[in-house]
Structure 1
Amino acid sequence: MKPNQVWSVTELNRWIKWVLEREERLADVWVRGEISNFVHHTSGHMYFTLKDRDARIKVVMFASYNRFLKFLPKDGTKVLVRGSISAFERDGTYQLYARDMQPDGLGSLYLAFEQLKAKLEAEGLFAPERKRPLPQFPKRVGVVTSPTGAAIRDICTTIRRRFPQAEIVIAPALVQGAEAPASIVAAIGMINRCTDIDVLIVGRGGGSIEELWAFNEEVVARAIAASRIPVISAVGHETDFTIADFVADVRAATPTAAAELAVPHYLEWLERVKQLDLRMHRAMRGQVEEERERLTRLMHSYAMRQPQRRLEEAQQRLDDWQMRLRQAMGKLRDRRKEQYWHAAERMRRFRLSDRVAAKREQALRMEERLHQRMEERLATARSAWLARLAQLDALSPLRVMERGYSLVYKGERLVKSVEPFAIGDELMVRLKDGSITAHVTEIVREEKADGSEKDRTANTDAV
């Protein structure tokens, strides 16, 4: 929301509605007050004002919610309303959108009931997977109720009538008043300490919500949930619901219905056994008749009347199969023989000697080509060698000496200048066709064009 922003009425009302609906504490509230200006619209919706001595608030309860009400609201009725706060954008007014409503006299009890129900449900005590099946033929039935009420008489009468074999174990308890919850919890604990109780009935006869309230106490609900024995809840009449009904393994509408759920009717089971016995006898007779008919058919069958003929027919079929087998073997042998001759003919067409001669001729041709290639390679290599030999010969000093040149050695060293020589030194001159030995008698140095001296050939006396 920006400062100094100019809003339209619609924008302002929409903003107020958004703010109210975002407030979590206004999403689920209980409001106590007196109804005034009550209108039950033809659409089914209810519109009224809830007021107290100092203030009032508009309330709307839509038909989808008010159809579950167990009383008819009217002006002057004090009620406890549960709902959420929001704004009606068109009129710019906030109001309470009701989801539930109870007369104020019972409102506090109902609120406590709803709160405990939500708490135990969140803990998983109402979960279907916790519910245990009831035993089909219980030997001992435990009952927690008032020993003087009509409920115990109805339970005992029904159990003895339906299943007289079952033993009834009564744990007396107070079922009404301030001390009733502790008494019920103690009775449930006493029954659970007995190791041979198969099923437990906990309940009482009908009454007002205040009279039934002991079965809405948390300690009673937790005692039922902790029972190791499957529990049937039988509190009040069919329309009465208590927390004990939600926690118990099975809910019965009345104490009499609880007794009917706890034990089977022995006459029904006797009738069922008779029917099973009858069906078994009928099935056995039918099977015996079927086997007898089958035996009769076998006795009058062709095989039983002339067994030798059946053997002869079997022998004939065996002979036929042997003949067919021989024919098949002969045909197979002929096919194999024909295949062999065809293979032999192909082998004759491709005789080994011919193939060897062909391969030998092929090898000779390859050898001839190999010699030819080798001769060509040798000729090429010889030509290359002769060319390089000619090049080497052209560069040989002997070829140079054939043109009148010679080599002068002093000792083993080839001499190119007059510097190493002195008068009287011995030298060797290598010519084209031999060599001579000489002594130096004169050394003449020649001048170069730039004024320096240039050596001339020394005079020698040949030996």
Structure 2
Amino acid sequence: MFPPNEAKPDGQGQAVLSIRDLNRLIKRKLEGEPLLQDIWIRGEISNFTHHSSGHMYFTLKDADSRLKSIMFSSYNARLPFLPREGTRVLARGSVSVYERDGQYQFYVTQMQPDGVGSLYLAYEQLKKKLEQEGLFAAERKQPLPRYPHTIGVITSPTGAAVRDILITLKRRSPSVNILLYPVLVQGKGAAPSIAAAIDEMNRMGEADVLIVGRGGGSLEELWAFNEEIVARSVYASRIPVVSAVGHETDFTICDFVADLRAATPTAAAELTVPHHLELKQQVAMRTAHMQRALVHQLERQQERLAKLRRSQVLSQPERMLQQPSQRRDRLQEQLVFRMKGLVASQHQRQLRMERRLESRSPKEQASLARTRTNVAAKQLQQAMASIHRAKAREWEATLRQLDALSPLKVMSRGYSLVYEEDEKKLVRSVHQVQPGDLLRVRLGDGKLTASVWGIDSTESGSDGETREEKQG
């Protein structure tokens, strides 16, 4: 009944399964049931956790039961909305067992909001996401061309919206070119169709402005214009985009991203091109204004010409030369006066320079140098004499000190120095000589050669008395 590695018979011949083997067996049973491998489940999300790994863990519940569920990051990355606590959803997936816990789970591969309330939740979440990314920013919106030559219309080829747009464009501007790009505006595949049309119109580059829209409908019917793929195509468009989706009360993501939102398709056509009768009226008004301006300018120029004819420049030109002649005379007088002052100033400067040169002549400088040299020589001689006298006194004091410390001076008072025979070592103790040794005795006035005949030493005994030892 069981594979050998999954069952172990007991002593009575009955198979005994491990918990792991049992969970694995149940898992194979569930995964072998085709009905449980691709099913849709409707329920409300609770205990929702978006793990740091990207996986989503939650419970699907209804009024009577609960089901543990998981949606791996590879699947939830494509969700058009962010699941939250209490969101009602339709989930698609398979049923299997998590072997470690022995718990069966629903493995979700697709999920979508259930009902209009959930669609509105998905709409709000995508709107908040794109707004945070800056897709609605006013500073990146492009202005519409004032007088477009070609209008690109991206909508369904059937229905009232396309007729309203075409009729309004031709009524307001008969000369405008219209490029109609038919797309799906509702149902599966509508959003990719609209996005592809916007991209293709940009690639062609023939249109000056794009009208993207459709007629009114429910939230589900307008949902293609709430898809992220459409919003990003509108945002990336180099051609200005006018969004014309639904009625005046309908707002879609496309409206917020577009460069201009129109309340209806008809209003989009009116905002895109000016009315030809209005243009003719403006041209007539500006023509009349230019004519009045030219007449006024001509009158001003005629008046100016009449004033010039009456002016003294033309009627009495010689009077125009009198004032410049007088001014020339005054300038000439000022020039002469300033030149005299400049000459006198330069003369005084020359005299000052001559006096300075005389005071700095080489002869005068040499005389001053000789005087300074003589004074310095006398100061040097005096300083040398003073130094010589000071050094002489210092020398004499040193000699007196050396003479006072000289051994010869001491010997002149009756002292002598006794050396060994070679006169290299001074005899300081009787223990340095023996009877018969020759000694050199130096006196104050000469030297003597002596022989040791005897030695007397004075030593202190243990009893404190002095004992003399004589050797002969």
TM range (shorter): 0.5 to 0.7
Letter in 2 for 1:453: K
- Sequence identity percentage: 33
2:286 is equivalent to residue 240 of structure 1: no
Distance 1:381 1:300, change over 3 A: farther
Letter in 1 for 2:342: L
Deviation at 1:163, TM superposition (A): 0.7
Letter in 2 for 1:332: L
Residues 153 and 180 in structure 2, CA contact (< 8 A), matched pair in contact too? yes
What SS is found at the alignment partner of 2:221?
A: helix
Residues 216 and 245 in structure 2, CA contact (< 8 A), matched pair in contact too? yes
Alpha-carbon separation, structure 1, partners of 2:335 and 2:425: 112
Distance 1:263 1:110, change over 3 A: farther
Match of residue 141, structure 1, among 145, 151, 159: 151
- The aligned counterpart of 1:158 is 168
Match of residue 401, structure 2, among 355, 377, 388: 388
**Correspondences of 1:198-277 after superposition (within 5 Å):** 198-206=208-216, 209=218, 213-217=220-224, 222-223=229-230, 225-226=232-233, 228=237, 230-277=240-287
Residues 145 and 202 in structure 1, CA contact (< 8 A), matched pair in contact too? yes
Alignment TM-score, normalising by the size of structure 2:
0.55
2:343 is equivalent to residue 326 of structure 1: no
Letter in 1 for 2:137: P
Deviation at 1:302, TM superposition (A): 3.3
Residues 215 and 244 in structure 1, CA contact (< 8 A), matched pair in contact too? no
2:417 is equivalent to residue 400 of structure 1: no
Alpha-carbon separation, structure 2, partners of 1:160 and 1:230: 20
Query: Residue by residue, what CA displacement relative to the aligned partner does 1:346-397 show, whole Å, maximum 9, x if unpaired?
Result: 89899868856874675366346414522441342243234234325x5316
2:445 is equivalent to residue 445 of structure 1: no
Query: Residue by residue, what CA displacement relative to the aligned partner does 1:78-132 show, whole Å, maximum 9, x if unpaired?
Result: xxxx99xxxxxxxxxxxxxxxxxxxxxxx93243123233224414485235644
Letter in 1 for 2:376: A
Residues 216 and 243 in structure 1, CA contact (< 8 A), matched pair in contact too? no
Alpha-carbon separation, structure 2, partners of 1:115 and 1:309: 91
Alpha-carbon separation, structure 1, partners of 2:241 and 2:425: 136
Alpha-carbon separation, structure 1, partners of 2:394 and 2:170: 132
Deviation at 1:252, TM superposition (A): 1.5
Letter in 1 for 2:404: Q
Deviation at 1:133, TM superposition (A): 3.4
Query: Residue by residue, what CA displacement relative to the aligned partner does 1:252-285 show, whole Å, maximum 9, x if unpaired?
Result: 1122211101212223233333444444455555
Residues 221 and 247 in structure 1, CA contact (< 8 A), matched pair in contact too? no
**Correspondences of 1:301-450 after superposition (within 5 Å):** 301-311=311-321, 313-338=323-348, 341=351, 359=372, 362-363=375-376, 366-367=379-380, 369-371=382-384, 373-392=386-405, 395-396=407-408, 400=411, 403=414, 419=434, 421=436, 444-449=453-458, 450=467
Residues 141 and 259 in structure 2, CA contact (< 8 A), matched pair in contact too? yes
- The aligned counterpart of 1:4 is none
> Structure 2: where are the runs of 5+ without partners?
1-45, 49-62, 65-85, 88-113, 459-466
Letter in 2 for 1:400: M
Distance 1:413 1:164, change over 3 A: closer
Alpha-carbon separation, structure 2, partners of 1:437 and 1:187: 144
Residues 163 and 265 in structure 1, CA contact (< 8 A), matched pair in contact too? yes
Alpha-carbon separation, structure 2, partners of 1:224 and 1:402: 132
Distance 1:305 1:352, change over 3 A: farther
Alpha-carbon separation, structure 2, partners of 1:119 and 1:401: 129
**Correspondences of 1:53-202 after superposition (within 5 Å):** 108-123=115-130, 124=133, 127-128=136-137, 131-145=141-155, 149-171=159-181, 180=187, 182=189, 186=193, 189=196, 193=200, 195=204, 196-202=206-212
- The aligned counterpart of 2:8 is none
Alpha-carbon separation, structure 1, partners of 2:425 and 2:265: 148
What SS is found at the alignment partner of 2:250?
A: coil
Deviation at 1:341, TM superposition (A): 4.8
| RMSD after superposition | 4.9
Alpha-carbon separation, structure 1, partners of 2:307 and 2:209: 57
- The aligned counterpart of 1:35 is none
What SS is found at the alignment partner of 1:213?
A: coil
Deviation at 1:181, TM superposition (A): 5.4
Deviation at 1:411, TM superposition (A): 7.0
Residues 435 and 454 in structure 2, CA contact (< 8 A), matched pair in contact too? no
Query: Residue by residue, what CA displacement relative to the aligned partner does 1:3-31 show, whole Å, maximum 9, x if unpaired?
Result: xxxxxxxxxxxxxxxxxxxx998xxxxxx
Deviation at 1:214, TM superposition (A): 1.8
Deviation at 1:183, TM superposition (A): 5.7
Alpha-carbon separation, structure 1, partners of 2:148 and 2:352: 91
Once structures 1 and 2 are overlaid, which stretch shifts more, 186-195 or 342-351? 342-351
Residues 217 and 243 in structure 1, CA contact (< 8 A), matched pair in contact too? no
Residues 243 and 261 in structure 2, CA contact (< 8 A), matched pair in contact too? yes
What SS is found at the alignment partner of 2:115?
A: helix
Query: Residue by residue, what CA displacement relative to the aligned partner does 1:225-278 show, whole Å, maximum 9, x if unpaired?
Result: 425454433334322334443454432112221110121222323333344444
Alpha-carbon separation, structure 2, partners of 1:191 and 1:352: 100
Alpha-carbon separation, structure 2, partners of 1:352 and 1:325: 43
Residues 211 and 244 in structure 2, CA contact (< 8 A), matched pair in contact too? yes
Alignment TM-score, normalising by the size of structure 1:
0.56
Q: Number of residue pairs matched?
A: 344
